[in-house]
Structures are given as C-alpha cells and as structure tokens.
Structure 1
C-alpha cells in the first residue's frame, strides 16, 4: 500500500513536460461552444460529417499519411505497425466488401473480435460505408451474443472461426436476419454459410468514396451490460465524433505526438469511443495489445512502446497494485523504463483513493478518474491534467457539459432535454429539481 494519505489533495507540477490542453478550467467552460468544437474537424462538402473520414482519411490524405496509426502487439510480444495511409486502404477495401454483399446505409454490421487490426478495419470500413457498427464483447456467451444480434437486427457478423463455432453456429438458424458471416483468419472453408474476410479483402479496391453522411445519420449501436434487465441499445450518430474529439483533448489530454494505450475491450463503449475513434481522430499512435493481461507484459508494453497516455480500468490498476514482488511495491515497475508516461486515466467503475495515490507513489503519476455511460458515448466528468486531484472524486464536468445532482424521490423531475449547443446523441443535459 502506498505511503501517501488517500485523503490529501494531490497538487500538480507547475511546469509539466507537456502543456495541457486545458489550463484554465473556468475560462475553458466560459468560452466553449459546440459550434467551435465542430469547426475543429474537417467535415464533408456540403456540411456532412463521417467518423471514419475524420479518424483516417483526412490524415491519410495529408502529410500525416506515413505516420503510425496502430502499433499492434501480438500475443508473443512482437509488434507490427499500420500507418494512416495503410489503414485508409484497408478500411476502404472493407467498405467495398460490404457494398459487394449488398450491405448499405443503415444496415447493422456486428463485430465479435478481440483487440486485433482487423477490428479497426471492420469498424472504420463499416462507418465509411454509412452502415451501422455494433461491437460485441468477445467473452460473451452464446445467449448474450444471440440476444444482441436479434435486438440489433444484425445483417453482417465479423468474427473468427473459433468464436463462431462456440457462440453462433448452433443458433444461426434462429437469426433469420443474419445474412453474412465473415471469418477473420483461417477456417471459413470449414464452416458452412460463412465467407473468408481475408479472401474478400484481397480482391477489393483500395480506394472508396465515402457517401455524403448527415451528422444525424446513425453510426454506432452499443448495448448496455444488461445487469438491470434486458440489455438496452444506445444509438450514437456521426456527429458524436465532435464529442469524441473534444473530450479526448480535455479529459485525456491527447496531443498529436502521443503514443496512446487504451486497455478497454472494443466490445464495450470505452474500447470503441476511446480505444478506436478518439485517438485516431486526434492523429496519435494507438497501441493495440492482442494478448491477455499480465502485469509484466503490461509494464513491458508501456516501456517498449513508449506509451505517453494510458487509459485503463480500476480493476486493472488494483491487479497491478497486488502484483508486487516481496521486495517492495516499487520493484516491478522500476524494472521498466516508464519515463515517457505522462498521463494516466481510469474509467469503468469507482476508482478507490488508494489507487490514485498508488499511481503517484509507485509510477510517479496520479490516476485521473472520470465518469460517463454507454448512453452518453463520451466522457462527461473528469479530473484534468492541469488541475489538482482529490482522491475519490470523479472530477468536474467537461466544458460543454452541465451536471446536476437530483434527489431520487423528486416528483417534479422532467425528461432529459438536450442543450441547444450540443450535438445530438453526444451530450445530454439532465434538468431536474434542485436538491
């Protein structure tokens, strides 16, 4: 356990290595407008907006095309790079694959994949095609997979042979709307009713013109966990990319030169909003770890990939806290060069104060907690790089976000009303009676 007092406020260095994007909280809130946030993106001619264009094509078509977009670490520890130009070609190929199958605007494309390069290709190629992407958690059992495919009216599923056999094959007959199953890697030839993802990609063109995309066009369909009943679908439109971009700048302090690692599974909203979309929209290099959790592996990735911004979960941090050799809590992380790491953030569940202090004492950096939900699609409340941290606090509302505390038994509560200045499905302001 770290020596620091988990109740003490943590003050920041007056001269950080990198100037934070948000240095004056009150001024940022006063000056922020969603119109200006939208103007920070390129957009399409005529006012259109497409997430995949902002995340890939606008970088690939500039002098950033040769920059590394994805740094993919295989289970054996070897790493391969994918540039923005290469990712643009791959995602365009997948958009053509969908077109060749008759899949178009608004059709639902599901992914049941782990953290792998093909996931990024499928996600962004789907959005280029103006189809709707719905990610599934690869650890789901057959029941939740079937349930979500049915609720989401899945027409296409991209998965592996092993996952298909274990979770979908026996239930395929009950999913009348599921027309196409694309198998990543080997095995498609042995599975009736499936197609080879790699085979289709090999013959598809590398250039694709993204159709005009309305900011209000449906882009993402996420499902809640189902812990309080049947899983509920949360729809996010292409204009949500405005919030992905703005919140990643403020809450994660992303800069173009960063190497960024989000450990969240892409089957959940964190892994999609901040593991796939936000880092690429910012033009950073994103680390993709295809292996399973192991404390030494994680420290090795942080060191070898020169990670500067790390977004992870409280559970993972507590596992790292316990993974300390008998010599002392500093010995394991001290075995690796973590000098490039400058910002750590966490989300997914309440972050205990001891974990915040552990980061400060052992890693030399406090952990910045933040809060949001599947329904919001982006971070609402956060601790910021330039602001002090009170361990145990989720922080303060982001610029452009209004937060309030509502009494549970308030009889005068009204329906959620979107502020006029926020993008639909990206930000919602809850207006309720005062406490």
Structure 2
C-alpha cells in the first residue's frame, strides 16, 4: 500500500526555493486556475484525476459528448459518452471496493488497449487505489518484478496473459485478486471474471475527498544500474496534464484525438486517455498492433484532428517504398506530435509533405509526469529541435560545479551539459518505489537532473545531444540492459553478458547482446537460436535482444563495470 505524502509544490526535495521567471510564474497562475476549475466542480472534495476526467463532464453539459471510442481488429467499435463512462467506471470502482481494495493499494493491468483497461484505470482512481499498467508483451520475469515491486493487490488481465505467471503466483503474496476480462477456463481461488462482477455492481459511486498529494499512478522506468524502478505520481499531476493538453497539444472541444502509445508506457496513460478526457474531448484508442494502412485509415475515417505518436512509427511510414499517405484523406489533421526519442529534422520536413502538417517534437520522462519541453503549436517548428520549456517549467543546461561551489552550475549558451529542471511542478514524481535514497540522488539542490545531454541556443531552443546513461529505447519501449543481462546470465554456459542499443533505422535502437561462454561451450548458430528463444520466453519480444554476438572478452573498467560504449561501437 502506498501512503499519502506531503510536499510543498514550490520547493525542491530539500526545501530549497526554486528560481522563477515570467514563464514559470505564468505557468503557476495557470495551474492555480485549473485547480480552481477542477475543485469547483466538487467543492470540498479535493482533486481526483478520475473526477476531473469523467465525473465533472458526466454531471455537466458534456455528458452526451463522445468520450472514448474503442477500435478493435476483432470486434465492433464501441463509443461511450461521458455519461456512459461515468456509469461503467462507477461499476469498476464498486467492484474493487466490494473486493476489499483499500485506498493506497495498487491495481494493475496486463492486457492490450482494450476497454477494460481504461475502465480499470479510472475505476481504481475513483476508489482511491493507485493504478499501474504493464505491457502485454512482457515475459514472466518483467511482469513478476513489476507486480512485486508495486505490491499490486489486484490484477486485471486475460487468460493468455495470466498463463505467463499463473504457476509463479506464490512469488506474489500481495496479489489477492486476479480478474480476467475473458471467462476463466476453470474455477481457481482468487481468480474471477471481471465482466460478471461489473454486471452485478451498481452504477452509483461516491468518490471520497481526495488530497491532491494522494498517490495516483505508478509508471515503471528503466535504469542501467539496477532493475526498473516504479515512479510514483500524485493526483496533483492532473493540473499539469490538463494544462499541457490545452497549451501544447492544443486540444479544443470538438477535437478527435488519437495517441498511439500503449498504456504500459507513461505516455499511453497520461496523454493516451487522462489528459484528453480531462479536456472533455473525444479520445480514440485502438487495440491492434501497428499496421500502416490501418493507421492511415483510422486517421482518415475517424477524422482525427490531433495525433500523438512515436518517431519509431513515423520512421516506418517514411521508409515505405510507396506513398500510402497520399491515398487517404488526412485533411482533418491540425497537429501531429511525437514523443519517446529524438525526432530528426528529416521527419519534420517529411511530415509537412506527406501529412500536410509539421511534426512537433515533445520531451518529457516518466519522472516528470507530463510534457516539459515542446515545439509549441503557436510557434514555428525548428526541425531537429526539442523545443522550448512549457509554461511553469524552468529548464537549464548544467554541469558539475567546481570545487567549493554549488552542486551544479549553469552552462553557457551553446554548451553541452545535462538537462535540469527546477523542481516543484505539479506532475513531478514524488518517490521511487523501494529506494528512497535514489530519489534524492536525482536532484542537485533545487534542480531535477534528467540524465539527458543537451545544449540551449541563443533563442532558448533546446537540442538533444545524447544520453547520460545507457538506457535503450527500441520501438517505443524502454529497455534496461541490467534486466536483460540478468536473464541471459541464467542460461547454462553463459559466463558474462553485456547489452547495448545500436542504431536501427526502423526501431530507433536495436537491442544487441554480447555473450561470453564457458570454455567448454562451442559458439554456433544453434546455441545462438536457443539463447534467443530463451530470452524471448523470459522477457517477451519487446525486451529480448534481437541480435547476439559471441565474444571472448568483455570490456570493463577497473571497478568491473561493463564499458557499454565500447560494445556499442562493435569493439568488445
């Protein structure tokens, strides 16, 4: 269970005052205005994300406005109004409450982009639970790690997904309930049928008063020095999520919005459904995997006006030998935004030619909880640039300070350093699960240190230069080398493992594993295939290496740490 915490939103983690400027002050004024807007809809009840996203619209003039349009490659489309969504999420909240889920306990999903995922998320938030979503493409070990780290008390999943961990459930003592979206094959203790439970639940639910600092979401991120950490965000994050939905994504009342990100990634939760629903617009979700013609058909037939997607998907569109974009009417598009990895200048120019609008890059992280830097819709796009800080955010390029000075100092114009953000924005992460010491190490005085290397030009535009750590971004997935190496080292005969990301035109980065074998193990294609199959079974296709290279030595420093940069250059 995650307990409520208290922090002053205008201070750094150790109470230091943050520096301010006009951009920061205007953002704080907007956040306060949005808080007044959200809390006035339920006087005396605080701030709850689900109330902001659903209930206040269902109780107002937007009640009959389409809220969620669920598309599927296998079943008919479903469109729910805000009034419909209120009833269904109330039923979900009652299901969780009837099962004894208490405020602060964690409710997780392990499924595709199906309607039950969104009902679970919003119902959990209404019930005071903390929501987290796991990628359906994960294998048993990543699933077990995330469920154990979050101490999830309830899991909503499918029979197929549950089979990955069914025999290992004894390793999850906190997991009291598993609710299947499809009927169980046979009765099993602690396993029930979610649709049947919802049919039996009443459609009325009263959201308890919610302090804005109450924990709401857990997003798992990857690191290079340990297993992925759970990042905790509070209900107060709704202020920045709605603000950036309006000012960065430029969401308008009549927009039809589509974010292609899976909710297993932070974008798929924050901007996949929370922010657009808070803005009161129609949100489209599709449970099918990437298919060029299907995606273009959705953009055309659904008359999508704002599209938020990844550079990986855009690159796949760009490299097609034909010009399928020309075959579809994309005239409704007002904006296209990208997130997840740097967007090259060629993609921006391609977007104007193929889609009719420039592609605007955005930058943020699981820890920031919302967009921090963007190519704003009211400003010309500078191809290749990350953009400028959003209102309320002060960003700087910093480097370690000289001896005797403060912990960091600000770099000059055009100098490369680490991107830092002045702490205190509403969607800033509040803690890391299971490692309170690591939270403090992410800050230097009042600055949050992002781990990304950037430069800032004389016009205030930020430009991405590289990563300060070794995290791999492949096809929109965040992969921890440590997590992959840990599994590979379990294979008999593997004596050492080093995992890196190498450039890939379609994936952004491709996961490559270098393996050292025991002296009596011959390196051949048969062994390579068996190890890759083992890794895919344990990790799932999203995290498993796509390439294995056998090597006799592993480059390491004096402390015994793998020199990943040497591996990435192909020189083990």
Q: How does the TM-score come out when normalised to structure 1?
A: 0.87
More moved, 181-190 vs 338-347? 181-190
1:185 aligns with 2:182: yes
Describe the shift of the 1:77–1:394 C-alpha distance in structure 2 as closer, same or farther (beyond 3 A).
farther
Aligned-residue offset at 1:233: 1.5
Alpha-carbon distance between aligned partners in 1 of 2:107 and 2:114, rounded to the nearest angstrom = 17
- Which residue does 1:206 correspond to in 2? 203
Q: Structure 2: state its 5+ residue gaps.
A: 1-20, 410-419, 431-442, 450-454, 457-572
Contact residue 189 and residue 196 of structure 1 kept, 8 A = no
Alpha-carbon distance between aligned partners in 2 of 1:312 and 1:147, rounded to the nearest angstrom = 28
Describe the shift of the 1:336–1:172 C-alpha distance in structure 2 as closer, same or farther (beyond 3 A).
same
Contact residue 295 and residue 323 of structure 1 kept, 8 A = no
Alpha-carbon distance between aligned partners in 2 of 1:417 and 1:244, rounded to the nearest angstrom = 17
Describe the shift of the 1:181–1:404 C-alpha distance in structure 2 as closer, same or farther (beyond 3 A).
same
Describe the shift of the 1:239–1:304 C-alpha distance in structure 2 as closer, same or farther (beyond 3 A).
same
Residue 206 of structure 1: SS of its match in structure 2? coil
Deviation string, structure 1 residues 277-328 (Cα, Å, up to 9, x no partner): 0010001111110111110000000001110000000000001111242xxx
Aligned-residue offset at 1:65: 1.1
Alignment of 1:52-63 (within 5 A): 52-63=50-61
Aligned-residue offset at 1:227: 4.8
Aligned-residue RMSD, C-alpha:
2.4
Decide which of 276, 279, 295 is 2:273's aligned counterpart.
276
- Which residue does 1:14 correspond to in 2? none
Aligned-residue offset at 1:430: 1.9
Aligned-residue offset at 1:209: 0.4
Residue 398 of structure 2: SS of its match in structure 1? coil
Decide which of 366, 370, 374 is 1:378's aligned counterpart.
370
Alpha-carbon distance between aligned partners in 2 of 1:67 and 1:213, rounded to the nearest angstrom = 26
Decide which of 425, 428, 431 is 2:428's aligned counterpart.
425
Contact residue 368 and residue 389 of structure 1 kept, 8 A = yes
Aligned-residue offset at 1:426: 6.2
**Larger radius of gyration, structure 1 or 2?**
2
- Which residue does 2:435 correspond to in 1? none
More moved, 290-299 vs 182-191? 182-191
Deviation string, structure 1 residues 244-272 (Cα, Å, up to 9, x no partner): 00011111111111000000011110000
Alpha-carbon distance between aligned partners in 2 of 1:194 and 1:272, rounded to the nearest angstrom = 26
1:351 aligns with 2:358: no
Alpha-carbon distance between aligned partners in 1 of 2:317 and 2:43, rounded to the nearest angstrom = 48
Contact residue 243 and residue 426 of structure 1 kept, 8 A = no
Describe the shift of the 1:418–1:48 C-alpha distance in structure 2 as closer, same or farther (beyond 3 A).
farther
- Which residue does 1:254 correspond to in 2? 251
Contact residue 54 and residue 85 of structure 2 kept, 8 A = yes
Describe the shift of the 1:425–1:344 C-alpha distance in structure 2 as closer, same or farther (beyond 3 A).
same
Aligned-residue offset at 1:42: 3.7
More moved, 396-405 vs 383-392? 383-392
Alpha-carbon distance between aligned partners in 2 of 1:198 and 1:173, rounded to the nearest angstrom = 26
Residue 265 of structure 1: SS of its match in structure 2? coil
More moved, 389-398 vs 316-325? 316-325
Alpha-carbon distance between aligned partners in 1 of 2:372 and 2:239, rounded to the nearest angstrom = 14
- Which residue does 2:515 correspond to in 1? none
Describe the shift of the 1:354–1:424 C-alpha distance in structure 2 as closer, same or farther (beyond 3 A).
closer
Alpha-carbon distance between aligned partners in 1 of 2:220 and 2:226, rounded to the nearest angstrom = 12
RCO (CA 8 Å, sep 6+): is it higher in 1 or 2? 1
Alpha-carbon distance between aligned partners in 2 of 1:78 and 1:195, rounded to the nearest angstrom = 25
Describe the shift of the 1:129–1:47 C-alpha distance in structure 2 as closer, same or farther (beyond 3 A).
closer
Alpha-carbon distance between aligned partners in 1 of 2:116 and 2:363, rounded to the nearest angstrom = 29
- Which residue does 2:102 correspond to in 1? 104
Alpha-carbon distance between aligned partners in 1 of 2:185 and 2:49, rounded to the nearest angstrom = 30
Alpha-carbon distance between aligned partners in 2 of 1:187 and 1:359, rounded to the nearest angstrom = 46
Q: How does the TM-score come out when normalised to structure 2?
A: 0.67
Aligned-residue offset at 1:229: 2.5
1:368 aligns with 2:366: no
Structure having the larger proportion of residues in strand: 2
Alpha-carbon distance between aligned partners in 2 of 1:254 and 1:339, rounded to the nearest angstrom = 17
Alignment of 1:160-239 (within 5 A): 160-165=158-163, 167-187=164-184, 189=186, 193-239=190-236
Residue 139 of structure 1: SS of its match in structure 2? coil
Alpha-carbon distance between aligned partners in 1 of 2:113 and 2:79, rounded to the nearest angstrom = 14
Alignment of 1:16-165 (within 5 A): 31-32=26-27, 33=29, 34-42=31-39, 44-46=42-44, 48-76=46-74, 78-165=76-163
Deviation string, structure 1 residues 111-150 (Cα, Å, up to 9, x no partner): 1111111111000000000011011111111101100111
Q: Structure 1: state its 5+ residue gaps.
A: 1-25, 326-330
